[in-house]
Amino acid sequence: MPPRALTFPAVILLGAGVLAGCAGSGSVQSGPGGSDSRYVAGDNSSQILKNRRSAPQVKGTTLDGKPFDLAELSGKVVVVNFWASWCAPCRAEAPTMEKIYEQTKGSGVQFLGVDIKDGKDNAQAFARTFKITYPSLYDQAGQVALAFRDIPPNAVPSTLIVDRHGKVAVRVIGSVPYSRLQDLVTKVAAEK
């Protein structure tokens, strides 16, 4: 029996499926210099976690060359934002992050940026451009994100909120609007 010829619409659908499979569902290829720094665009969902797990040990060097250890922030609420200079949603939410940091730092809330899959010069320019005053770890290889494997930040940007007991209380996948982040930080900061 001779093979069946594909109709034109079937060829189009087959080609679209192959192309979609190369990047993965929701994946975007981006990064400095056209490198293969794939990331998954988040759906901007947030969840308050009922069964909280301890945040991993996170140590590194900030963009300005200072050592950083998450354990030194014990007793504070820590908002951990994963970002990259080449990420458009990260640029859009950067002013929100800085504004809420300024509003909450006096009440025992600390922000920590984690710059992943990025060039250091680009990351430093991003921090200057958006006047980011909280520390950001330079994590080109993505090791900090991997350390959070129990509650993974599956997209760039992603935000995790660690409670005063060192447990991850909230996860946001994708960018987070001002009112939602303010509400989440306020709720976690008000916990006993």
Q: Which fold has domain 40-190?
A: Glutaredoxin (3.40.30)
Q: What is the pLDDT of residue 114?
A: 97
Report d(CA 172, CA 159) in Å as an integer.
5
Rounded to 10°, the helix 88-104/178-190 angle is 40
Query: Strand 136-139 vs strand 109-116: parallel, antiparallel, or unpaired?
Result: parallel
Q: What is the pLDDT of residue 43?
A: 64
Q: Mean pLDDT in the chain?
A: 82
Q: Quick one: average pLDDT of 118-129?
A: 96
Q: What is the pLDDT of residue 112?
A: 98
Q: What is the pLDDT of residue 10?
A: 40
Q: Is the pTM of this model over 0.75?
A: yes
Beta strand extents in 23-180 (DSSP E only): 27-30, 37-40, 45-48, 59-61, 67-69, 77-83, 109-116, 136-139, 158-162, 168-173
Task: Read off the pLDDT band of 37 (50, 70, 90).
Answer: very low
Q: How long is the chain?
A: 192
Q: Express each pLDDT in 69-122 by its tens digit.
A: 999 999 999 999 999 999 999 999 999 999 999 999 999 999 999 999 999 999
Report d(CA 168, CA 130) in Å as an integer.
26
The domain locations on the chain are 40-190
Q: What is the pLDDT of residue 33?
A: 39
Structure tokens at 5: 């010829």
